[in-house]
Amino acid sequence: MTKLRAEVADILHAAGGVMSVGELCEAVLTARGSVQDTPYRAQLATAVTRAAVEVERIMAEPRFLVRRDGACVLIATNQELAQYAFRLGQCADRLAAEDPLAPPARVLQTLQTLALPTGASELADTRLIRLAAVASVHAAVSSRQELYPKGMDAARALKLSQGALLGVPSLTVVQIRERVSSRYPDAEPLPDRPALDHLLHLAGFDFQWDVTVKQGTGGYVSRFHDTTIVTSGSESVSRLPTVLGSSHVIEITPEIADARQFEERLQRACKDGAFLVLLAHPKYYQRACDELCHRFPITLIDFEALFLKALREVADKARVNWDLVLKTDATPHAGDWQKLLLLVGRAMPLVEAQLSASDTTMLVTYAGVLARYERMDLLERLRDKVGRRDGIPGLWLLLPGQHQAVMDGKAVPILSPGQRANIPKSWLQNIHRSYGNGGAQP
């Protein structure tokens, strides 16, 4: 419990000093992991987090406290941060009530007018918006970083999701629900047919139900395909409107939909700045690295090579024989291991300074040495710099694996599931940009 309370204090510090109970429980579950299935794993995380908070409250000098305002419960490192979060929540409620919705830029600008408590660290843009929403009564955050009202009318959610629904030859009811809920997860759920037909008409979609599409299961189709633009690096391929019935109609499979959704997520992350942990099947690791570098204007960082260069530099400066360094590294926790860690401690600031100076989103590979030398805190600091005015544009960490964001058995410090993503095999195969016959577009 003592170690867990220390981890909770670290998680709070990384999040700016204040989190909702739900966020904290989710972060503890991410950091500690669980072999249980949903929902039991979440229940266990809630129980142990609550226990840690209760124990901390009886300490002579508690590192964090609980503050409640109505139904909202926050965990904060001090009273001033909790009050600041509640003010953000009130502002978020006002913004979410606007019609039309305030664009993300104005949301951010409005929230930034509220003064931070003295001594508090500036929050990243995405964290600021997220905190405002969790501290509010009625506001939620869309995938585009808008603030919208919880339980927003289904017809309005449909209308606001046009970008996610247009440009596809046909959509099932389930696909429409998934696309709308991915953008506005806390909106009113969409109904089934025939009520959905009426809502689509009210939202301005020229969709008709066709029982022959989707292998006979039926789906919504539009009389005309919408013009689409597919971007690949600096190249783009556009397609003019095509009348339905053309021989070039392509069926949008779940695999294509997953690949497109992943592509859109990376495009947003590259544009807005984000800390992302990308999981690739081990046998596709290098291919994933190549595809990411080819598709996006990012800088590839071989972390191991960067670290070894810095370690060699400090070893030479200290007149330490490099062969001795390698020999010590081969037998962890034995011999001169503690002396090696001292060299590592001198090398890491050099590495951090070089990464912090990047002016583009970085794709970091082969970062396992951070776990080997107990330096995962470097990732936390870099994560917290993403999106800040004096920080870095973005950091994507590529890891081999399919389930958990871990390196050498140690959890990568992510704050929410939104900072982790599996790279779909269909995206690597490029099927979302193909003509449907296995040949990729130029």
Q: Which two tokens stand for residue 236?
A: 């783009």
In a domain, 440, yes or no: no
In a domain, 433, yes or no: no
The pairing of strands 139-141 and 147-149 is antiparallel
Q: What is the SS3 assignment for 12?
A: helix
Look up the domain containing 179 and give its range: 154-252
Structure confidence by residue, pLDDT tens digits, 391-421: 888 999 998 887 678 887 778 888 777 788 8
Are residues 144 and 13 located together in one domain of the fold?
yes
Q: How far apart are CA 50 and CA 121, in angstroms?
A: 26
Are residues 372 and 385 located together in one domain of the fold?
yes
In a domain, 437, yes or no: no
| Res. 204: pLDDT tops 90 | no
Q: How far apart are CA 427 and CA 5, in angstroms?
A: 40
Q: How far apart are CA 229 and CA 227, in angstroms?
A: 7
Percent residues over pLDDT 90 in the chain: 29
Q: How far apart are CA 179 and CA 165, in angstroms?
A: 7
Helix (H), strand (E) at residue 65: strand 65-69
CB of 387 closer than 8 Å to CB of 124 = yes
| Res. 437: pLDDT tops 50 | no
Q: How far apart are CA 188 and CA 201, in angstroms?
A: 17
Are residues 195 and 336 located together in one domain of the fold?
no
Are residues 356 and 408 located together in one domain of the fold?
yes
Instruction: Using pLDDT thresholds of 50, 70 and 90, give the confidence band for residue 433.
Output: low
Are residues 408 and 268 located together in one domain of the fold?
yes
Are residues 276 and 289 located together in one domain of the fold?
yes
| Res. 232: pLDDT tops 60 | no
In a domain, 211, yes or no: yes
Are residues 245 and 347 located together in one domain of the fold?
no
Among left, alpha and beta (phi > 0; psi -120 to 50; other), residue 233 is left
- Domain final position from 208, 225, 252: 252
In a domain, 294, yes or no: yes
- Domain final position from 100, 133, 149: 149
In a domain, 299, yes or no: yes
Are residues 242 and 332 located together in one domain of the fold?
no
- Domain final position from 252, 287, 321: 252
**How many folded domains does the chain comprise?**
3
Instruction: Using pLDDT thresholds of 50, 70 and 90, give the confidence band for residue 179.
Output: confident
Cβ neighbour number for residue 377 with a 10 Å cutoff: 13
In a domain, 442, yes or no: no
Structure confidence by residue, pLDDT tens digits, 336-347: 888 889 999 999
Are residues 245 and 298 located together in one domain of the fold?
no
In a domain, 182, yes or no: yes
**Can you give the pLDDT at residue 227?**
37
Are residues 189 and 166 located together in one domain of the fold?
yes
| Res. 161: pLDDT tops 80 | yes
Are residues 123 and 160 located together in one domain of the fold?
no
Are residues 74 and 192 located together in one domain of the fold?
no
CB of 246 closer than 8 Å to CB of 223 = no
